[in-house]
Structure 1
Amino acid sequence: MLTIHRARVVRRTPEGEPLPGHALVVDGDRIAAIGPYEELLGEYGGRARVREWDGELTPGRHEPGARTLLESVYHPDDPYEVDELGSAPLTGEAVAALEMTDTRWGQSARRALQKLLATGTTGLTGPFTRPRVRTVVSRTGLRVLAPGGPAAPPPLTPGGRADFAVFAGPDTPGGEPGTPGAPGGEPARCLATVVAGRLVHRRA
């Protein structure tokens, strides 16, 4: 199904030229077109749904520390483990003291990935060696890059995979300061995350 994503501003790269009044058309898992909203609505409007976002649409974040985050850090299950373990991620000796099975690593990775998707993450640096973690990552559809690969997400281009996020800018009502799509930095508040054309996070 075709979807037109309309935003206050579209940027083809996180630091690229802001394009006010633009939109992006998604067809399946691909970007079909990028351009002024009115033009795209005229071409695709009769057969596409429209999603409107009050923020900046850019390539999503890339998480270079994903392997450590998913395979060496344990993310407690809220609310079931918080009383015993607390809500903060566990590392080092605290993880070693737990009975960690491959299944439990997979469950922890799933919780961590949900948090990453909520920050606009669309790519990770691998590889992942734990079988259940690999499975969980694969099911999200997130792009996985090898170590030493590009540290930034690819630009948004027609024909490219539809991986992007929408971030609240400083002038967006309720917006917070930050850098949309900033790798390793403090991102702006994420309103939506799309991975391979699927809306995988939407801020309530």
Structure 2
Amino acid sequence: MRTLHTAPLLRRTPDGEAVPGHAVLVGGDRVEAMGPLAELIEAYAGVRVRRWPGTLGPGLTHDGPLPMAPTPRERVHALLRHGVTTVLAEHLTDPALRAAVDRSDLLVLSAPVPPHLLPGGRADLAVHDADGTCLVTVVAGRIAHRRT
């Protein structure tokens, strides 16, 4: 099912210009379109709309060892709580940790790549509030973390 994710502000890159009134259309695990919310709602009548507070942007890349926690699953969840959708392979030498990352659908890269949102790209999104707290993390099109 297609979903429009929108927030008061949208950034295509973590440090890019914040644009008001825009949205990201997600279909499956891909970004299908981006643009003004009103235009996307008109073009995709009946689409589910998720409205989030804060700033919507690409998921973040974690460039370092994963946070310590009692289990591999909890280590991955600690990343999701911060809006991380990508990790580096060099930090996944423990097979149990790698399995937990694979189950979560986090993207694993051999080298850091600046995160960005673009049509046709993987639907890895995060919403952060004004103080930087992650409110929502979307990994490959599905909500993997939502702050309650």
Greater share of strand = 2
Partner of 2:135: 191
What is the alpha-carbon distance in structure 2 between the residues aligned to residue 115 and residue 137 of structure 1? 12
Secondary structure of 1:32 counterpart: strand
Q: Which amino acid aligns with 2:85?
A: T
Aligned residues: 147
User: Are residues 1:50 and 2:49 paired?
Assistant: yes
2:70 is aligned with 1:64: no
Deviation at 1:195, TM superposition (A): 0.4
Provide the TM-score with structure 1 as the length reference: 0.69
The structure having more radius of gyration, on CA atoms, is 1
Tell me which residue corresponds to 1:103: none
Q: Does 1:134 align with 2:78?
A: no
Provide the identity percentage.
48
SS of equivalent to 2:99 = helix
- Structure-to-structure mapping, 1:1-204, within 5 angstroms: 1-46=1-46, 48-65=47-64, 68-69=65-66, 73=68, 75-76=69-70, 108-127=71-90, 128-146=92-110, 149-153=111-115, 155-169=116-130, 176=131, 188-204=132-148
Query: SS of 2:73's equivalent?
Result: helix
Match of 2:41, SS state, is helix
Mapped partners of 2:73, 2:45: distance in 1? 36
After TM superposition, the score normalised by the length of structure 2 is: 0.93
Residues 25 and 34 in structure 2, CA contact (< 8 A), matched pair in contact too = yes
Moved segments of 4+, more than 6 Å:
none
Residue-by-residue CA offset, 1:134-175 (whole Å, 9 max, x unaligned): 2111010001111xx22532x100000000100002xxxxxx
CA RMSD of aligned residues (A): 1.3
More helix by share: 1
Q: Distance in 2 between matches of 1:54 and 1:60?
A: 16
How far apart are residue 109 of structure 1 and its match?
1.6
Contact 1:64 1:151 in 2 (8 A): no
Query: What residue ranges of structure 2 are gaps of 5+ in the alignment?
Result: none
Aligned counterparts of 1:140 and 1:15: Cα–Cα separation in 2: 26
Show CA shifts across 1:64-123 (max 9, x none).
11xx336xx4x23xxxxxxxxxxxxxxxxxxxxxxxxxxxxxxx2210111110110011
**5+ residue gaps, structure 1:** 77-107, 170-175, 177-187
